[in-house]
């Protein structure tokens, strides 16, 4: 009974990991109901509290909040990859995963789209900014950049110089963030 909230969260995470999202949500809601806390606080669609999710110092739009809740992305995870302040979100990661420049470029574009979501409440990205991220994270290949960018596929839509992450892109970005943060915290 002397476990910290972080230890308890990890235990719950490990228990729920093999189950689908809708089962996880029902289990959490059922547990809260059994504890007599099912109506405590305003809850979002995902069953996570809308307020008090670690972003009191920055203003996030409703789409960004929904994305955080839907994909269970925490402030701690974001803080390893982004510097967030009011009206700004900068990518501060030192590296990006990928076995090739192509994979790394795709991941840079995903991170850039989420930067737009956190900053402007829309998963928009600008080609020039994405290239700067690729260069900084050693993913840029001048001769093949266009084909590498096209490897993003259905995870992004739009035409140069403005692109938008699609639903699959937002999901892939959340998974990338989990991958990047779990490898540094283990």
* DSSP letter assigned to residue 45: T
- Residue 23 is predicted with a pLDDT of 76
- Residue 4 is predicted with a pLDDT of 74
What six digits make up the tokens of 133? 């991220």
What would you measure as the largest C-alpha separation in the chain, in angstroms? 61
- Residue 52 is predicted with a pLDDT of 44
CA-CA distances (angstroms) from residue 167 to 34, 67, 99, 154? 34, 10, 24, 9
User: Which residues touch 80 (CB under 8 Å, ≥6 apart)?
Assistant: 93, 180, 181, 184
- Residue 21 is predicted with a pLDDT of 80
- Residue 11 is predicted with a pLDDT of 81
Place of tokens 């990518």: 91
* DSSP letter assigned to residue 55: -
* Over residues 50-74, mean pLDDT: 81
* Over residues 91-104, mean pLDDT: 96
Q: What is the pTM of this model?
A: 0.71
The C-alpha atoms of residue 69 and residue 56 are separated, in whole angstroms, by: 15
pLDDT tens digit string along 115-171? Answer: 999 999 999 999 999 999 999 999 999 999 999 999 999 999 999 999 999 999 999
Peptide bond preceding 166: is omega within 30 degrees of 0, i.e. cis? no
The total of other beta-carbon atoms located within 10 Å of residue 99's CB is: 7
- Residue 28 is predicted with a pLDDT of 76
- Residue 32 is predicted with a pLDDT of 66
């Amino acid at each position: 009974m002397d476990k910290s909230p972080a230890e308890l969260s990890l235990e719950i995470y490990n228990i729920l990991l093999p189950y689908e999202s809708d089962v996880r949500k029902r289990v959490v809601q059922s547990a809260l109901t059994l504890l007599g806390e099912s109506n405590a606080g305003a809850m979002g669609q995902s069953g996570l509290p809308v307020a008090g999710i670690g972003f009191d110092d920055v203003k996030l739009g409703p789409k960004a909040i929904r994305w955080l809740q839907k994909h269970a992305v925490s402030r701690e995870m974001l803080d390893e990859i982004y510097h967030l302040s009011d009206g700004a979100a900068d990518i501060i990661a030192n590296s990006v995963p990928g076995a090739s420049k192509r994979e790394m470029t795709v991941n840079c574009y995903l991170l850039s789209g989420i930067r737009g979501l956190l900053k402007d409440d829309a998963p928009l990205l600008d080609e020039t900014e994405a290239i700067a991220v690729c260069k900084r994270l050693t993913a840029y290949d001048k001769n093949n950049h266009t084909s590498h960018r096209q490897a993003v596929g259905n995870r992004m839509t739009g035409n140069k110089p403005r692109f938008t992450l699609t639903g699959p892109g937002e999901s892939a970005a959340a998974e990338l963030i989990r991958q990047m943060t779990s490898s540094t915290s283990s």
